[in-house]
Amino acid sequence: MITTTEKELNLVELNLKGKDFLTLADFSEAEILGLLENAKKIKEALRKGIAFQPLQGKNLGMIFEKSSTRTRVSFETGMLQLGGHALFLSSNDLQIGRGEPISDTAQVLSEYLDGIMIRTFEHEKVEELAKYASIPVINGLTDMFHPCQVLADLLTIQECKGKVKGLKMAYIGDGNNMAHSLMIGAAKVGMDISISSPNGYKPNEEVVKRAEGFAKESGSTIVITENPVEAVTDADIIYTDVWASMGQEEESQARIQAFAANYQVNEELAKHAKDDYIFLHCLPAHRGEEVAAEIIDGSHSVIFQEAGNRMHAQKALLVEVLK
């Protein structure tokens, strides 16, 4: 197999070595776009069967307090393809699950590993881990943010639309971690975003204000509305997520009652978007709840390309922060 280097791939030099990836708010437009450009080049090399392994000898610890299909497989396979090794660390197997302070865990893991990816509940836990670790920490998901998913989303949009700046995204559903990260990501790259959620389920106001600051800098707009038709009108991208995320199972019935009447992405709603809109979903999806089967399985849906791009976007990130 032919092997290649960063120089031969002509990767964008971003100088992110050792930097934490907790939210997209900490990254500039140029850094985000650079990661997307590098992801495309790394993806193309893989497609051509060219080995790109700059992380030989590097080890990534993956802490999972929330289970996942896409996060585990994409990070583990991505590290392997880059020449490194990924170590699955269940909270049930770590002392952190038995009460060891996060600060102690961070410092101990820093002695063994080159980086940590964590998928957990409270965002404060990721921040504390990053504070005490001397190696880069990557947020694989918290209840507040999901930045790795949005990197993959932006990569998918760029592949399908040829750009990200100047487009309009409509997000329909719960004002959750996806809504928060999509707002920040869109605002950073100059994409308009409209978020439609029922009263009581809107995005966090502090996150909205922070994203609005980024939008002002990039010239994009953020609209928060309870009217899904307003949000979807003339949209280039329609995005949704489950109504009850992991850890909210007890709220499931109340959430279905709040969302079911107006917040399902279906053909009636989608007809207000542009004719060539694309549909995105971070998965897993509940067909018949947040999205109708004819939408998620229809011609506008690119959800599996989007899911595949998790690995490619994260490989670009891993190369930058671990090299």
Active site residues: 119, 146, 149, 241, 282, 310
Q: Residue 71, Cβ neighbours under 10 Å: how many?
A: 21
Rounded distance between C-alpha atoms, residue 11 and residue 27, angstroms: 18
Residue 71 known to bind ligand: yes
DSSP state letters, 249-278: GGGHHHHHHHHTTT--B-HHHHTTS-TT-E
Take residue 5 and report the two structure tokens written for it.
Answer: 């280097």
Contact 259, 173 (CB under 8 A): yes
Alpha helical stretches, state H, 139-279: 147-161, 177-189, 205-218, 228-232, 252-259, 267-270
Residue 241 known to bind ligand: yes
Residue 246 known to bind ligand: yes
Residue 272 known to bind ligand: no
Q: Calculate the alpha carbon distances from 23 to 112, 132, 153 in Å.
A: 25, 17, 15
Contact 190, 165 (CB under 8 A): yes
Residue 282 known to bind ligand: yes
Rounded distance between C-alpha atoms, residue 276 and residue 262, angstroms: 23
Residue 301 known to bind ligand: no
Helix (H) or strand (E) holding 116: strand 115-119
Residue 245 known to bind ligand: yes
Contact 300, 249 (CB under 8 A): no
Rounded distance between C-alpha atoms, residue 189 and residue 202, angstroms: 23
Which residues are 223's β-sheet partners? 194
- 3-state class of 13 per DSSP? coil
Residue 218 known to bind ligand: no
Residue 264 known to bind ligand: no
Residue 109 known to bind ligand: no
Residue 148 known to bind ligand: yes
Contact 176, 154 (CB under 8 A): no
Residue 160 known to bind ligand: no
Query: Residue 240: which of 176, 191, 320 has the closest Cα?
Result: 176
Residue 68 known to bind ligand: yes
Binding-site residue numbers for carbamoyl phosphate are: 68-71, 95, 119, 146-149, 282-283, 310
Binding-site residue numbers are: 68-71, 95, 119, 146-149, 177, 241, 245-246, 282-283, 310
Binding-site residue numbers for L-ornithine are: 177, 241, 245-246
